[in-house]
Amino acid sequence: MEPFAELVRRDPGVDGVRLPGAAGEVLKIQQYADDTTLFVSSVRSLGRIRALTDLFGAGTGSRVNMAKSSVLFCGSWTEDIGDSGGFAVCEGGLQILGVRFWARGCAAQNWEARLALVRSRLGMWSRRQLSLTGKVVVVRSVLLPLLLHLAYVFPVPARAKLALTRAVFRFLWGGRYEYVSRELMYAPVVAGGGVS
């Protein structure tokens, strides 16, 4: 798939998306394993992408699975979006590597869903008789991986951070009085902390 990625990157007919805060860098394609995500800023580029996939397919025998491919228009488009290059137009959200994207409000919706998942997992683990150390292990090995990938895509909003902190400390102390201050809990174990 890397030859296809190079074909897209080098093609002047594909208008990528200018990344904010990246010194004018333009993003056209991202790949992970067999997933390819394309970022274009014009409908003309969609037609060009379709031509490039046909060209690549003619040379390699690969084909785009049109049943699994769709396009999501984000932001303000100034041109007619009637022609989507043969790709299905996604009306709802689009999932890319476990993260949902909509035309607007992606971060808030993703974090709300992730908070619900965290609360569900904490509810399940709170029914077990775990020591404080065991609960810290659960937070590190079960909850943290649920949050990291999403946090790389969308920074944690202050409201979600507060809700996560409350949920974790409620889990650690079983909803009872917090016997050790949160500041001390954040300290390294050698300094008397519990979660570092």
**E-assigned strands of the chain?**
17-18, 26-27, 29-32, 35-38, 70-71, 88-89, 94-96, 99-101
pLDDT of residue 76: 67
Could you tell me the residue ranges of all domains in the chain?
A: 2-101, 106-191
Which residue stretches of the chain have pLDDT < 70? 75-85, 194-196
Alpha helices, H only, 11-143: 43-60, 106-126, 132-138
pLDDT of residue 85: 66
67 exposure class (CB count in 10 Å sphere: 0-12, 13-18, 19+): exposed
DSSP β-ladder status, 35-38 and 70-71: unpaired
| Cβ atoms 196, 187 nearer than 8 A | yes
CA-based nearest residue to 83, from 40, 38, 47: 47
Q: What is the pLDDT of residues 47-62, one digit of tens each?
A: 888 888 888 888 888 8
